[in-house]
Structure 1
Amino acid sequence: MSAPLKVGIAGLGTVGAGVLRVLRDNADLIAARAGRPIVPVAVAARDRTRERGVPLTGLRWHDDPVALAADPDVDAVAELIGGAEGPARALVEASIGAGRPVVTANKALIAIHGAAIAAAAEARGVTLAFEAAVAGGIPVIKTLREGLAANRIGRIAGILNGTCNYILTVMREQGRGFDEVLADAQALGYAEADPSFDIDGVDAAHKLAILAALAFGRPVDFSALHVEGIRQVSAIDIAFARELGLRIKLLGIASRGPRGIEARVHPCMVPEASPIARVDGVFNAVVIEGDFVGRVMLEGRGAGAGPTASAVVADLIDIARDRRTPVWGAAASALEAAPSVPMAAHTGPYYLRLMVLDRPGVIADVTAILRDQGVSLESMLQRGRSPGEAVPVVLTTHETGEAAMQSALSRIAALPTVVEPPAMIRIEPG
């Protein structure tokens, strides 16, 4: 058997400790599949006194993670610190500069700086691997870059954040409000103390930016994404979705059309019979549509020590085997600068909920505005009469343009009989 691949691990949080555990518990299996042992030899983390749940004896400790890049006994570096800037970025850039392969679980780093880092890795001839950066243990990077390499991808859509999926699942199953369920998710450890990155859609957007670059063979461009979170999703909208045969999910969606690439993250209503509607709790799922393979769906745990560590070690096995694939599936010179389609150009059906005073002529005023904007109604739900009180009215539309819908919403919100901002959720096929 060949000489071991000696690995330096930066970051000993949940994922870093998980990687050490996988490498030790499955050492024989990993060596057989890698063709040689994969051995951790050095680590870097901020606090030497913290209990990590795994033994650290025999490992060299670097207080500065960037020192791993210069450690002569390290063959490959696993960056598990996180964050788009600071020591994580410095370590990745230094490791590539030193000619050392890098494995990272850092979706923010790859989404924001991935184009430049990938170009540096290509120029230096070293591997940059990031299977763990998207959807934890689901092998979606390898599927896109290798398994579906013969296909033109037309659309990719996914549940890319387990925290949001858990919150929306509990809201639907228990009829509870967003704030209450978020507090429970924080208590259970499914949501951070500051949950903004998750519930505002940023985490999912980082992952979608990476998937869109791989799917469509263009440089990663986080700034091109439209991003909305789930703060405004209410229990009443979830209940109305059920009446309509729909479920609400936070989806990341990227598609290629004649005008270019559309990439967006926002709450969606999807048919409850669709496979993605049935992915609940902390699970993630990704649906890929290729011209020859058709529709492929991957589902699994999108976070946590075990699934994410599994993906990190899979990348290390590729490095040990010297299996090399271009970062974005093709050389930088082969990537195309396809234009980004703005959200205002999106078309599709919509769900609209209004809280209106129950007075004669209210619905006529609303439908007149929609008519003026060229919005065609498909259905309307209105509960029993309550003269003079606020009542919900739910409308769904046929396919219409985003710009027309936003203009109509502004005019509807200004009506004196509309007592709170309209709720609008886009409807997707799943």
Structure 2
Amino acid sequence: MMRTRPLKVALLGCGVVGSEVARIMTTHAHDLAARIGAPVELAGVAVRRPGRVREGIAPELVTTDASGLVQRADIDVVIEVIGGIEPARGLLTTAFEHGASVVTANKALIAEDGASLHETAEKYGADLYYEAAAAAAIPLVRPLRESLAGDKVNRVLGIVNGTTNFILDRMDTAGTGYGEALDEATALGYAEADPTADVEGFDAAAKAAILAGIAFHTRVRLDDVYREGLTDVTSADIASAQRMGCTVKLLAICERAADGRSVSARVHPAMIPLSHPLASVREAYNAVFVEADAAGQLMFYGPGAGGAPTASAVLGDLVAACRNKVNGARGPGESAYAQLPVSPMGEVVTRYHISLDVADKPGVLAQVATVFAEHGVSIDTVRQQGKDGEAWLVVVTHRASDAALTATVEALRGLDTVRGVASIMRVEGE
């Protein structure tokens, strides 16, 4: 039976995502009501600039008083798509205190302060949903939090930022330089005017913290995630990857240690074999590979950004939160019972690709190999090339700890025969 009293929704933010949320709520109102068991009504929209024309939104719903909106006694669910830490954190806390459930797309806030938000939601008997914070339209949070709740997830490996994937794809397939590819991404609307959050890996790191926390039932904060951006990736790195039968991707990697006693989370460029499913993810698309004991290998693929895709995830969470309101139930809260420590980057083990500028004379390779051996880093392959008095060594290692590799590189820089370490890149997905 359909409940007659509508559930009232407050929308914080009406930009690219917020306007799509409002549009879908209006155009799909009948279907949403049927799926929820009650009508859903947009009761207010908090914005910074009230004078702008917002198609499909009644002017009387628009307000600049976000605090007053979330304190209204008749609000059942608050949707937050304004981003950032404050005032979003204070507004959501206030919403919980007044009995409203929350749906948010705010990855930075969830990565930074998700634990306290979950605690507040629990205290006031409300729900906190954030599917859109991890990979926009790609269903990822709910499968990890619910569908795989009975399994043991060991690894989450993925491309979770569309801007950087577009840039690296253009460098790989069209041979463009980093700057040119970034300009193209900006012109197409994939990159913001200030692309720092994307190209320096902050966006992907926030998503990695969220995914690691859910996958491993452990609190993982943004500060726990090792981060490198792609600004230092060169055309030479791309060409070297191609010679190895690889491509370069900015990856978010969350892993459970082999002994099960710790976890790690990191974001950095890496070479992956063309045979790996993630290698074929092109343009601004996202994809995440999940490895679990019983389920095996799962891959989630789709658009990871944009107004409509992100709104799709927000509306899915809205339906879940509203159903709970209708049925007097609550959705899943935080699961952090495992309390596993997060390993520092130095303990992470993987393979490496190192390019060295060396003197063009006999005995250099032997010196370099000795340094690797002294630090316990085994060499898999070495490629030499030289021309006009210049020489290069490209070394690919077997698996070694990041700390051992760092010590090796420092020792190599101390050799008279090594003129410079041109690049270091991890090799993943094998």
TM-score with structure 1 setting the length: 0.94
Distance in 2, matches of 1:413 and 1:68, equals: 59
Q: Which residue of 2 aligns with 1:318?
A: 320
Q: Is the 8 A contact 2:321 2:331 kept in 1?
A: no
Range with greater deviation from structure 2 (219-228 or 145-154): 219-228
Q: Which residue of 2 aligns with 1:60?
A: 61
Q: Is the 8 A contact 2:50 2:63 kept in 1?
A: no
Matched, 1:238 2:238: yes
Q: Which residue of 2 aligns with 1:14?
A: 16
SS at match of 1:47: coil
Unaligned runs of 5+ in 1: none
Amino acid corresponding to residue 108 of structure 1 in structure 2: A
Q: Which residue of 1 aligns with 2:333?
A: 327
Q: Is the 8 A contact 1:122 1:326 kept in 2?
A: no
Q: Which residue of 2 aligns with 1:75?
A: 76
CA-CA distance at 1:305 after TM superposition: 0.5
Matched, 1:341 2:343: yes
Unaligned runs of 5+ in 2: none
Amino acid corresponding to residue 163 of structure 2 in structure 1: T
Q: Which residue of 1 aligns with 2:365?
A: 363
Q: Which residue of 2 aligns with 1:49?
A: 51
| Mapping of residues 203-214 of structure 1, within 5 Å | 203-214=203-214
Distance in 1, matches of 2:271 and 2:187, equals: 28
CA shift digits 1:295-323 (9 cap, x unpaired): 11100111101110001111110112116
Change (3 A) 1:421 1:193: farther
Distance in 2, matches of 1:31 and 1:382, equals: 66
Q: Which residue of 2 aligns with 1:141?
A: 141
Matched, 1:168 2:174: no
State the aligned residue count.
422
Q: Is the 8 A contact 1:241 1:269 kept in 2?
A: yes
Runs of 4+, deviation exceeding 4 Å: none
Change (3 A) 1:306 1:387: same
Change (3 A) 1:37 1:392: farther
CA shift digits 1:6-31 (9 cap, x unpaired): 11101011110010111122222222
Q: Is the 8 A contact 1:43 1:61 kept in 2?
A: yes
Q: Which residue of 1 aligns with 2:118?
A: 118
CA-CA distance at 1:422 after TM superposition: 3.3
Matched, 1:415 2:421: no
Q: Which residue of 2 aligns with 1:396?
A: 396
CA-CA distance at 1:58 after TM superposition: 5.6
SS at match of 2:126: coil
Q: 2:300 aligns with which of 258, 274, 298?
A: 298
Amino acid corresponding to residue 163 of structure 1 in structure 2: T
Q: Is the 8 A contact 1:44 1:63 kept in 2?
A: yes
Q: 1:376 aligns with which of 375, 378, 400?
A: 378
CA-CA distance at 1:59 after TM superposition: 4.5
Distance in 2, matches of 1:392 and 1:95, equals: 60
- % of aligned pairs identical? 41
| RMSD over aligned Cα atoms | 1.6
Range with greater deviation from structure 2 (61-70 or 147-156): 61-70
Amino acid corresponding to residue 331 of structure 2 in structure 1: T
Amino acid corresponding to residue 60 of structure 1 in structure 2: L
Q: Is the 8 A contact 1:352 1:394 kept in 2?
A: yes
